[in-house]
Structure 1
Amino acid sequence: MSQFTTRPDIRGTFGTVTSTHWLASTVGMGMLEKGGNAFDAAVACAMVLQVVEPHLNGPAGDLPAIIHLGETGETKVLCAQGVAPKGATMAHYRDLFGDGLIPGSGLLATVVPGAFDGWMLMLRDHGSLELAEVMAPAIAYARDGHPVLPRVAATIAGLHDFFRDEWPTSFATWLPDGEAPKDWELFRNPDLAAAYQRIVDEAEGTTREARIDAARKVWSQGFVADAIADYLADASVTDVSGEAHSGVLSREDMAEWQASWEAPLSIDYHGWTVFKTAPWSQGPVLLQALRILEGVDLAAMDPYGADFVHTVTEAMKLAYADREAYYGDPDFSDIPIDALLSRDYAAERRKLIGASASLEQRPGRLPGLEHLADAAIARAARDFSAARGASAGEPTMAHLTERRGDTVHLDVIDQWGNMVSATPSGGWLQSNPVIPGLGFPLNSRAQMFWLEDGLPTSLRPGSRPRTTLTPSIAEKDGTRIAFGTPGGDQQDQWQLIWFLRYVHHGLGMQQGMDAPLFHTAHFQSSFYPREAKPGEIMVEPNFGEAVIDELRARGHKVTVAAEWTVGRLTAARREPDGMLTAAATPRLMQAYAVGR
């Protein structure tokens, strides 16, 4: 494989920002140039991503982040994953859906909005700039316009009739003249701009921290919460099931929830310490896969060859099978995470990797928890006969429909060694109608709960849905890397592949992102309609026909994607001498790394 890359690694010592949209990356860098730190830059970058990639995230979505504090050396997790409302009881949802699926869009799929409060908590506790300064670029792009991405325009165009007939507030916001925006024309969201400006204006206080806390209160108890509650009081909207439903989110739910800090999970892998979020996310999947692969000589394999693709795929199947059986909110369930991450357990799982592709769902059978493994296997085999409406809930890439949501990602490092890896998502323009006067919709993360008792992922008021969002930080001998990607269930697959090639084969940061990627859909999807596709993998065509033929000969059900359509990775690295390096995928021609 060629050593040439589509772009250079960005290098410098002052700071770097990399994200899934060049405008957001540039805005984040601007905060560093103003004297801000990585946390100021991350928040400003994220607010702009909400404006320029509204089909991928929004302020009422959700957010996990892993941060590293350069001064203290502490690494910690920001959890801004909202919880199920008090009215989201099993009895209420079963009355509507039996033991079927929570729809992948609409008001019943909504949990408490988390992203905005999460970003404000990061800014308050670790930022240095004023709220107004950090939010100014997003307000300006929403008010004055930004060049709309072709994928945003296509997504809106694909929902023209549905918005017109079923979600009129979304029609007014995304098709203000009755037509979808054209590629690259200036697109404005005046209601969002006005809402953000009002939050800033009402955020009064005698200190910077007090003003940020005031903004959080304006969101959760002020005019934002009022607008959401007033709309939900009598709204009944058509969702992906094809039927109209009312929501259960209340003012009380909004007022009582706040984002929080917690410790990360971590393991050691070939000298690297890899940090991930807890099992309320899919983050431990990457750690489990690394544990399984720890005893395999990956360095001896061609990183673009069939052996590598097969072995990594089979390891991912095993790790994701455990996700489906055992992960969930540890505040509500006793998650056996120590057992799942142990070397002894991984060694037993490793023995299951054979010469041929497995077509079975094979969660581990932990003592006393065998019923959870059996339940996961049964769910994966079940036909839910799910309706397929116009606003679906599954994150996708360019090779799938434009009507579904996805995610964004950003990585930031400043001159002081502060780091942020964050994967905001939810609140897509496809997920729910726009709240009148606010310019943004609610999220649809509740679709990840099951209407089945006794599971770590059972629907419970106050519980976090087991999200797919999963940023990463890794360190070795003073070198630290922040990395991640959008992509739903694929996130920890693409990150794993990139990281393995970096560790075992010496691929450069950009080189690893340009390299051909793959992922499996073998396990049960996290998103409505919750399908499992045993044995299926998707590969990019630049693996070559020989590799693809070999994978098929081993029993993999291979789909060849269009060129340059799998994975949206970004990454930033800091070395002990202060040298910074950053990279961003060329896929979709949106993501960019900037720095100096």
Structure 2
Amino acid sequence: MTFTPAASFTTRPTLRGTFGMSASTHWTATATAQAVLERGGNAFDAAVAGAFVLHVAEPHLNGPGGDLVALIRPTGCERPVVLMGQGPAPAGASIDHFRSRGLDLVPGAGGLAAAVPGAVDAWLLLLRDHGTWHLADVLAYAIDYARDGHPLVAGAAATIARVADLFRAHWPTSAEQWMPTGTPPAPDTLVRNPAWADVLDGLVSAGAPDASREARIDAARERWMTHVLLEAASFLRHPHRHADGNDHEGVLDTDDLASWRAGYEPAEAVSFRGWDVFKAGTWSQGPALLQTLRLIEDADDAGLDPATAEGAHLLLEAQKLAYADRDAWFGDSDGAVTAAALLADDYIAERRALIGPAASPHLRPGSPDGRPPLLPPLRTDAAVADGSTGEPTVDRSGQTRGDTCHIDVIDRWGNAISATPSGGWLQSSPTVPSLGFCLGTRLQATWLIPGHPASLAPGRRPRTTLTPTLLTRETELIAIGSPGGDQQDQWQLPVILRILVGGYSGQQAIDAPSLSTTAVIDSFWPRTWSPAGVTVEDRLDARVVAALEARGHRVRRTGDWSLGRVTAVGRDADGILWAAANPRGAQGYAAGR
């Protein structure tokens, strides 16, 4: 083993078998996905069924009104492709409109921050093109949990408690859905959402009864975009409380919903230690991981160990450079950097030379294609930006934040998917009572300044933090991902290095202590950053922590099991399938045989 030896004890085994593997951030979604595999469905049938269950089981971490990014590799497909479920800004979402409302940032909660919801349409597109099951069979699991109830996970109960006053005073429809007794529910309370079950039944019944499987799915997609979401958008046209403390109307309308559909895109990739690593483009944060891998690829294997002071420092400083480029150059516009420029040999060498023995306290974007970088005004607020553990929080001003889910599936035929759905959290905006869900707030990841690649502009996608990963090497494959906002790839990176370079099994790599930098501009309102900030799990060797502090890192310890919610599935060179899941929070599980 090249790295510091993994502990002989792990929280659970790395599952191994030949039939199929599922892993997700909630045990119910994992069980659902594996049940689909057991009944003959493929990985895409399983992932879609599991994803709709995630809407029900983790409502504080994702919802039907949110968004989705996935990497898929159908069997026989040499190169993975991106399933793109990130909707754009509505036509009425202009910088001038937001400024006229007295805003200098897009609020972190409220319907004004809603992009066109993309997750459901993307899942249905995947099912139509690469699945084998009928929609009724795939959605039966989620319909059952929504109508008959499911035990509320502790994180969701805690989130509802945090926003109880907001619900009571300003979002009464959310209070009716999530606090029907007038008080926040306790963990494991049986929670039902019959309105959402009725919506799913409506999708199942869309289209002619004798139509083909594909035609029925297309009919469901049309009903979702032009009927269900239109009702949600109309509801949020009424003024309601936003994160800035004022009341605003939403701007999403009929034309926005009629003009957009989910789709597929080519993946970006780099080679690292013989593996091809695939990510979504620079409208996501995915290429920051690719740049990080290029920045550290010249280090010897031992120098990449996150459990050593040298390895941890290298990873932190390389990521700070990559995320500075993200914050200056990524977005869905003509001004965004191309992956080719970002990953060019000369530019990588130039950036790598900036990594020194001490922690840099500066945000240092480069000029990958010769243009000067543009950064928004930096807001430093240690009370907000000293490190997120990936769970929804409410800051001192009362704003609420949400997180994300993840699901990975691989089947016996070789189909594989790594998917990260998010947004539409129960705390995003008021619940639409007839639908049982709310819309997301992804527009908070845009800037209200002209000329930036991630500036708010009608018809453009907000730069998303959703960043699943697929890796391949000949017949080997790894599908991996994590919730965590700006930390998603930061939490994946140590796991990937421990598997590819360190010789760890999947579960050993996920269980090992993690760390991440907070010296990035937060993608979520109120968009702060913490110079030289680092969060580490307390299980990281105290000598390593002391060495990082001696180098100038501002280290914040967050508890023994606090950073990362990584899950992964894979296939080894001998054809054996495997799966592993995060133990933190006692919520994520893997299953397979």
Q: Taking structure 1 as the reference length, what is the TM-score of the superposition?
A: 0.95
Contact 1:395 1:406 in 2 (8 A): no
Query: What is the CA-CA distance between 1:366 and the residue it aligns to?
Result: 3.5
Contact 1:298 1:308 in 2 (8 A): no
Equivalent residue, structure 2, for 1:175: 179
Q: Taking structure 2 as the reference length, what is the TM-score of the superposition?
A: 0.95
Equivalent residue, structure 2, for 1:321: 324
Matched, 1:547 2:544: yes
Aligned counterparts, 1:269-280, within 5 A: 269-280=272-283
Query: Which of 109, 119, 123 is matched with 2:123 structurally?
Result: 119
The alignment-based identity, stated in percent, is: 49
Equivalent residue, structure 1, for 2:50: 45
Matched, 1:15 2:20: yes
In the alignment, the residues of structure 1 paired with residue 102 and residue 271 of structure 2 have an alpha-carbon distance, to the nearest angstrom, of 43
Equivalent residue, structure 2, for 1:164: 168
Query: What is the CA-CA distance between 1:545 and the residue it aligns to?
Result: 1.8
Equivalent residue, structure 1, for 2:502: 505
Equivalent residue, structure 2, for 1:397: 390
Residue 37 of structure 2 aligns with an amino acid whose one-letter code is L
In the alignment, the residues of structure 1 paired with residue 162 and residue 152 of structure 2 have an alpha-carbon distance, to the nearest angstrom, of 15
Query: What is the CA-CA distance between 1:384 and the residue it aligns to?
Result: 9.7
In the alignment, the residues of structure 1 paired with residue 466 and residue 138 of structure 2 have an alpha-carbon distance, to the nearest angstrom, of 24
**SS of the residue aligned with 2:539?**
helix
In the alignment, the residues of structure 1 paired with residue 30 and residue 381 of structure 2 have an alpha-carbon distance, to the nearest angstrom, of 41
Contact 1:25 1:592 in 2 (8 A): yes
- With over 3 angstroms needed to count, the CA separation of the structure-2 counterparts of 1:232 and 1:303, relative to structure 1, is closer
- With over 3 angstroms needed to count, the CA separation of the structure-2 counterparts of 1:12 and 1:344, relative to structure 1, is same
In the alignment, the residues of structure 2 paired with residue 491 and residue 302 of structure 1 have an alpha-carbon distance, to the nearest angstrom, of 19
Deviations 1:493-533 (A, max 9, x none): 11111111212211111000010000111011111010010
Contact 1:57 1:428 in 2 (8 A): yes
Query: Which of 468, 473, 484 is matched with 2:470 structurally?
Result: 473
Contact 1:395 1:407 in 2 (8 A): no
Deviations 1:193-212 (A, max 9, x none): 11111221234351000000
Q: What residue ranges of structure 1 are gaps of 5+ in the alignment?
A: none
Residue 477 of structure 1 aligns with an amino acid whose one-letter code is E
Residue 456 of structure 2 aligns with an amino acid whose one-letter code is L
In the alignment, the residues of structure 1 paired with residue 513 and residue 233 of structure 2 have an alpha-carbon distance, to the nearest angstrom, of 46
Residue 574 of structure 1 aligns with an amino acid whose one-letter code is R
Aligned counterparts, 1:202-221, within 5 A: 202-204=206-208, 206-221=211-226
Contact 1:81 1:464 in 2 (8 A): yes
Equivalent residue, structure 1, for 2:460: 463
Matched, 1:61 2:66: yes
Residue 46 of structure 1 aligns with an amino acid whose one-letter code is A
In the alignment, the residues of structure 2 paired with residue 260 and residue 3 of structure 1 have an alpha-carbon distance, to the nearest angstrom, of 44
In the alignment, the residues of structure 2 paired with residue 468 and residue 587 of structure 1 have an alpha-carbon distance, to the nearest angstrom, of 21
Residue 492 of structure 1 aligns with an amino acid whose one-letter code is D
Aligned counterparts, 1:61-210, within 5 A: 61-97=66-102, 100-204=104-208, 206-210=211-215
In the alignment, the residues of structure 1 paired with residue 62 and residue 306 of structure 2 have an alpha-carbon distance, to the nearest angstrom, of 33
**SS of the residue aligned with 2:585?**
helix
In the alignment, the residues of structure 2 paired with residue 16 and residue 69 of structure 1 have an alpha-carbon distance, to the nearest angstrom, of 15
- With over 3 angstroms needed to count, the CA separation of the structure-2 counterparts of 1:12 and 1:421, relative to structure 1, is same
Contact 1:474 1:480 in 2 (8 A): yes
Deviations 1:152-199 (A, max 9, x none): 111111211110110011001111121222111211111111111122
Q: How many residues align?
A: 582
- With over 3 angstroms needed to count, the CA separation of the structure-2 counterparts of 1:383 and 1:544, relative to structure 1, is closer
**SS of the residue aligned with 1:258?**
coil
Contact 1:396 1:405 in 2 (8 A): no
Equivalent residue, structure 2, for 1:518: 515
Residue 346 of structure 1 aligns with an amino acid whose one-letter code is I
Query: What is the CA-CA distance between 1:128 and the residue it aligns to?
Result: 0.2
Equivalent residue, structure 2, for 1:595: 592
Query: What is the CA-CA distance between 1:302 and the residue it aligns to?
Result: 4.5
Residue 235 of structure 2 aligns with an amino acid whose one-letter code is Y
Residue 363 of structure 1 aligns with an amino acid whose one-letter code is P
Query: What is the CA-CA distance between 1:261 and the residue it aligns to?
Result: 0.5
In the alignment, the residues of structure 2 paired with residue 468 and residue 409 of structure 1 have an alpha-carbon distance, to the nearest angstrom, of 13
Query: What is the CA-CA distance between 1:300 and the residue it aligns to?
Result: 4.3
In the alignment, the residues of structure 2 paired with residue 297 and residue 47 of structure 1 have an alpha-carbon distance, to the nearest angstrom, of 43
- With over 3 angstroms needed to count, the CA separation of the structure-2 counterparts of 1:195 and 1:395, relative to structure 1, is farther
Query: What is the CA-CA distance between 1:455 and the residue it aligns to?
Result: 1.2
In the alignment, the residues of structure 2 paired with residue 251 and residue 192 of structure 1 have an alpha-carbon distance, to the nearest angstrom, of 21
Equivalent residue, structure 2, for 1:585: 582
Residue 287 of structure 1 aligns with an amino acid whose one-letter code is L
- With over 3 angstroms needed to count, the CA separation of the structure-2 counterparts of 1:281 and 1:334, relative to structure 1, is closer
Query: What is the CA-CA distance between 1:548 and the residue it aligns to?
Result: 1.2
In the alignment, the residues of structure 1 paired with residue 356 and residue 370 of structure 2 have an alpha-carbon distance, to the nearest angstrom, of 27
Residue 228 of structure 1 aligns with an amino acid whose one-letter code is A
Matched, 1:29 2:34: yes
Query: What is the CA-CA distance between 1:385 and the residue it aligns to?
Result: 13
Equivalent residue, structure 1, for 2:11: 6
- Alpha-carbon RMSD across the aligned residues, in angstroms, is 1.9
Query: What is the CA-CA distance between 1:555 and the residue it aligns to?
Result: 0.4
Residue 135 of structure 1 aligns with an amino acid whose one-letter code is L
Contact 2:61 2:423 in 1 (8 A): yes
Matched, 1:379 2:384: no
Query: What is the CA-CA distance between 1:364 and the residue it aligns to?
Result: 0.9
Contact 2:29 2:51 in 1 (8 A): yes
Q: What residue ranges of structure 2 are gaps of 5+ in the alignment?
A: 1-5
